Structures are given as structure tokens and as C-alpha cells.
Chains A and B, each alone.
Chain A
Amino acid sequence: MSASRKVELVCPAGGLPALRVAVEMGADCVYVGFRDQTNARNFAGLNFDDKALREGVEYAHRFGAQVFVALNTYPQSANWAHWARAVDRASEAGADALIMADAGLMAYAARTHPSLRLHLSVQGSATNHEAINFYYEHFGIRRAVLPRVLALPQIRHVIASTPVQIEVFAFGGLCVMVEGRCALSAYATGVSPNCDGACSPAKAVRWEQTPRGMEVRLNEVLIDRFGAEERAGYPTVCKGRFEVDQKTYYAFEDPASLNALELLPELVRAGVSAVKIEGRQRSPAYVAEVTRVWRQALDACLADADGFRVQSAWMSALSRLSEGQCHTLGAYDRPWK
């Protein structure tokens, strides 16, 4: 593997401070969203207004980094104009690319801003080259972010079968459901990741200490109950404990977050164009540390993929950030399924 091949490190920013530290720590690209439901991290106090975005773009460009704007939720007819306007705003702010999922909105972006680079979001649920090439032929997408469902051989096959650059998730929170194909939050709370850009919103969460333990509900549905010694996680439906056939367990997944560090040489050899860090909702300190570690690791890997060894200092730094959660290789490793 020659050092000349470029693999970009794509890092999250929920605000200007995170964007700045990501750039300082060596992110090639930073992805951000507007302060509303046009992106999949629509959380209170997070994200960018027009002024902050312009400042962020300026700052990133000064250091040779790029800014991608996620417009990756699905507009509805009644609020269509708001999403279309967000496309215009991102373009006006000088974004290097838009990360999108909705076919109609991509058609709008391609028609209205033909020189604007488009990426297919993970929310577009494109898991195979036929789907990715569909977006390529119609909207000229330059890159697709793969849903976290494919094993390495499948990723290699996709890359071999499309002219579109492939970006994969490398680190951070892990949706066990296919992104863009999950209405569990909408079913329980009425707030939809697809349309509202949020999952299991805080306003629907209720914690209550009971004689049986600490109970957490999502709009009245009991998602889990924790003993005093147990670590209580945020109650998305997929991370709850439920009863199936008289067994109570994590029916969907054990609490774990993705860390593909040890697969980095494989991903680079497979020909991915970018590795992505999840976590626009995370603090600037978190973004700084993850970016620092992954920059070092990616540089080491690009210099000598065959000689690449995961350094224990990297792993312990990343483990500290995951707050004791287990790490998993997710779908890249078939036994996870």
C-alpha cells in the first residue's frame, strides 16, 4: 500500500468549537448540520446556523480541510421548501459537499446547484452497488456512506462495482438497525429519525426510582430497569432489555460501540475513500481526542499497511472515551450478526 493513496478522515462537529479542534487534530473533512430537523442529529443546543457555518467553512478551508453538510433526513410535502432552502444555504455558505438521503431533494440539489458535490448519506440505506449506481446515474453522487450492515468482502465487492467513492463508519455509536429503515422511535414516541432527525427524544424519556430498580420509560413504554450496580444507558428502543419467550435480555444488542481500528489496514486495502467517526452530539474534547488517535492510526496505516499494529495507547484512549462500553467490530466481522 503506497502512502500516496488518500483515505480521508471524516470527523463530526456539533458546533464551531468541535469543528475547530477536529481541524486542528488533523481531520481531512468535518461534517456538520443545521440547527433543525434537516439532519439526523437534531438535538437541542447542537448544530450550526448560517453564520457559524460560514465561519466553520472559512476556518476549515484555511487549514486545507473540507466541510460536509448533512441534509440527510426526508422532507415532507408540507415542509419541502425548508429543506430546499437548506440546500441553498449550505451552498451559499461554501460547503464542500452535501450528505443527502432523499431522492427528490437530491434532484433539486443537482438541478439547482449543478456544481455542488453530493454524497449519499447512510440514511439512504444503499447497501449494494446497484442502489449506489442509481444515485450516481441520476444525481452524480461522488461518494456513498455505507450502512453499517456489510461485512468486509461485501464492501470490497461494492467498491469494485461502482465509480462512486465509498465511506465507511469506523468509530462511535452503532445503530443495530439499518439507518433509514427504522421506525421504532416513531412507533414509540412519534419522533422519527427519518423525518425529524431524532431518535428517542429526551422529552419522551422518564426515569423513575422504584422498589424494583431504576426504571426508564420512553413515552410510557418500559425500556429497561437497572439495579444499583448496573450502568444505565440512554433508552433507545434497540438498547433496551425485554422479555421474549420468558427470557429477559438485550433483545437487539448488548451495549457496545463500534471501533474498527484493528480493521483499518483491511479497510484501506479494500479501497475505501474515507473513514467516518460518528458523534456530532459529542463534546469538543471527545472529538479532539478521537480525531487525534485516528489521525495517528490512519497515517501509520497509509505509510505501511502491512506493518500496521494497533498501539495500546490508542485503544486505551478510545476506551476511556467510550466510558467503559465494550467495543465491537460490528457488521465488518460476520459473527456479530
Chain B
Amino acid sequence: MNSPRLSLGPLQYYWPRARVLAFYEEMARLPLDVIYLGETVCSRRHELRTRDWIALADDLASSGKQIVLCTQVLLETESDVKALRQLTENDGHFLVEANDMGAVRLLQNRVPFVAGASLNLFNGESVRFLAQLGALRWVVAPEISADELAAVQAQRPADLQTEVFAYGRLPLAYSARCFTARHFRLQKDLCEFRCIEFDDGMRLRTREGDPFLVLNGIQTQSDRVMNLIGELDALQALHIDVLRISPQSQHTPQIVELYRSALDGRLTASDALEEMRELMPSERCDGFWHGKPGLMVEATP
């Protein structure tokens, strides 16, 4: 049985340009197989513009890793659609992850693409439909459980790869509104780009002080960190091709190394998890994987 490959998901946060470039320079040296690039959250963020992400993809191509450019999840304006075309028309040079059906329309039957998690693919029919249009990989929506995924896997075409969000704060919701701007009583159009001040978003707690969610501009994330390090055997049994690690400002290289070691059998899952305890930005969760509320923790490896 082949061991899954490791990918780095797109950066969800807004960091200064120099920091982004330094981050990916480091990522290029890590034991990752796939790197996803691009701004998926907010079109107002401009430290790197679309052409800069494409240039970064060019720079990283020599690392030997597969580079994938990601489209935005929520497109609102015509300029968002123009940016989308810039990505989809990169001459087939780079693979593109399509994060809405508009992106799929621009890629279908022309170049292979990755069907992103926000396409809401929950069943074999939909997955097969996207494969017919040229998807070579689909990314599983985080809310799908292992049992549901097994049923889809049984129906997937032989040459379609499956990628699972294995590690990171879960992207849970998108809005037309910016909650970071709202926090500062600013309008989204005049947001002063305050999200650049928060490397890992703004933590939202309940009125009892329990960490619950993270505000990241128009995106809302889980505070808890989805971590499937204890499920590597199950993931392999389900023939998952790629495991995704979502970037955080701290300790991403160590997390990648620990996943790699566990996949290579150099470290047990429980030892890897033990080492991750100090590296995760919050508590662990894996409820979705077990068909439970996402914030729950079911399994201890």
C-alpha cells in the first residue's frame, strides 16, 4: 500500500510580503510533496497579488514539489473574476485548485485541476462528475466522516486522487462580511487591512472564556486543531493519496517533519502526537472524522 503524500495547504492568513516569501523558502526545503499557493480568503489582501503568487509558483517549481495555485472561495466582483481568469489561464503551467464552480467552468475539459474542498462534494456521483470534467484530485470537505468518505472512495474513478485535510484549524465558514474589520468597527471597504496584525487570526472565546473559533477576515475557523495523526492507518486503508497540513505562523516545519516521520514509520502516531502537543496553537479535535460534532476529540492514538 502506498503511503500518502504530504501537502501544504494555502496560507489562510494575511502576512507581510517578506514573511510570506521567507515562509515558502523554508517550506521548499521540507519533506512536502505538494505546495498549494494563493489567496483563497480575501481579494482585498494585496501583499502578494495574483501575479506575485504566480511568480512565487515559478520560483518554487525548481524545488521538485508539485505546485498548485488556488482560486478564491468567495468571488463577488468582476475584478475577482478577472483574478480568477489570471490563475486559470496560466497556460497549464501550474495545476489549479478550483474553489468555486466558476473556476471549474474555466478549467474543465481543458486542463487537469484539483477540485477544492469548498465545492461541496459529498457523494460519488458528484465526485465522478468532477472527474469527468478533468479533476485529477478532489479535496474532501472537512465535515465528511471517515465512514462517509469510505462510501465515496468506493465509487471514485481509479485515476482520481483524494486529499484529506489532516492538520490545522478548520476553515468553517465564509461571509460577505469581514469580522476582523467589524471588530475594529470598520467597513470592509475601508478595513485598513487590520488582519495583517494577527498572524493566526483573532481568537474568539465564549463568554466563559473558552476558546471556540478564530476570526480571519471573512473566514471563520475552528479554534481547535483538526489532527488526524492518529488515523494514518485508517487513511491508508481508505487509499487517501494526499494529506494536507494547513500553515500556521509557528511550528509548521516541525509539524510537517512529524507527519513525515510518522508516515515513514520512524515514529509512532502516539509519539508524534505527544511531540505535537506543545506545537499546536490550541487543543486537538477530530470529531468530524468520527461523525461527531467537529469540535470533539474521539480518538487517542
Contact = CB atoms under 8 A, between A and B. Distances in A.
B154 interface: yes
Interface residues of A, number: 70
A238 B212 CA distance: 12
Interface in A179-204: 180-184, 186-190, 192, 194-195
A131 B101 contact: yes
B294 A251 contact: no
Given A183-B143, A183-B172, A190-B293, A131 B148 contact: no
A138 to B, nearest CB: 8
A131 B102 contact: yes
A127 B177 contact: no
Please provide the 4 A-B residue pairs with the shortest distance between their CB atoms, ordered closest to farther. Answer: A104-B125, A130-B102, A104-B126, A77-B151
Interface in B194-215: 202-210, 212-213, 215
Interface stretch (B61-69, B78-86, B253-261, B264-272): B78-86
B206 A245 contact: no
A105 interface: yes
B295 A188 contact: yes
Interface string A125-140: 1111111011101000
Nearest to B224: A187
A102 B152 contact: no
Q: Which of A125, A137, A181, A182 has the largest count of B CB atoms less than 10 A from its CB?
A: A181
Nearest to B130: A103
A236 B60 CA distance: 43
B45 interface: no
A160 B105 CA distance: 18
B99 to A, nearest CB: 10
B120 interface: yes
A251 B204 contact: yes
11 contacts: A101-B120, A126-B101, A128-B76, A130-B75, A154-B77, A222-B207, A241-B207, A242-B205, A247-B183, A251-B183, A337-B178
A126 B293 contact: no
A80 B293 contact: no
A251 B178 CA distance: 10
Given A77-B154, A222-B207, A243-B207, A186 B294 contact: yes
Q: Which of B100, B106, B175 has the largest count of A CB atoms less than 10 A from its CB?
A: B175
A124 to B, nearest CB: 8
Nearest to B290: A190
A77 B123 contact: yes
Contacts of B129: 103-104, 107
Interface in A99-146: 101-105, 107-108, 124-131, 133-135, 137
Contacts of B123: 74-77, 80, 102, 104
Interface in A66-83: 74-78, 80
Contacts of B147: 78
B126 A103 contact: yes
A151 B122 CA distance: 30
A77 B102 contact: no
B222 interface: yes
A270 interface: no
| Consensus secondary structure, chain B interface | mixed
A151 B78 CA distance: 12
Contact of A128 (B100, B118, B126, B155): B100
B278 interface: no
A157 interface: yes
A105 B122 CA distance: 11
Given A195-B143, A244-B215, A187 B172 contact: yes
A176 B215 CA distance: 14
Interface in B266-301: 287-288, 291-295
Q: Which of B106, B142, B155, B174 has the largest count of A CB atoms less than 10 A from its CB?
A: B174
B31 interface: no
Contacts of A178: 74, 173-176
B206 A242 contact: yes
B202 A134 contact: no
A104 B202 CA distance: 37
Nearest to B145: A76
Given A104-B126, A124-B101, A190-B293, 18 more contacts: A76-B123, A76-B151, A77-B123, A103-B126, A104-B124, A108-B125, A183-B172, A186-B143, A187-B288, A189-B293, A194-B120, A221-B206, A224-B207, A225-B207, A243-B205, A251-B179, A252-B175, A252-B179
B188 to A, nearest CB: 4
Nearest to A176: B175
A331 B76 CA distance: 11
A39 B287 CA distance: 24
Contacts of B11: none
Contacts of A252: 175, 177, 179, 182, 220
B267 to A, nearest CB: 29
Contact of B104 (A80, A108, A134): A134
B189 interface: yes
Contacts of B293: 186-190, 219
B124 A77 contact: yes
Contacts of B100: 125-128, 131
B75 A128 contact: yes
B122 A127 contact: no
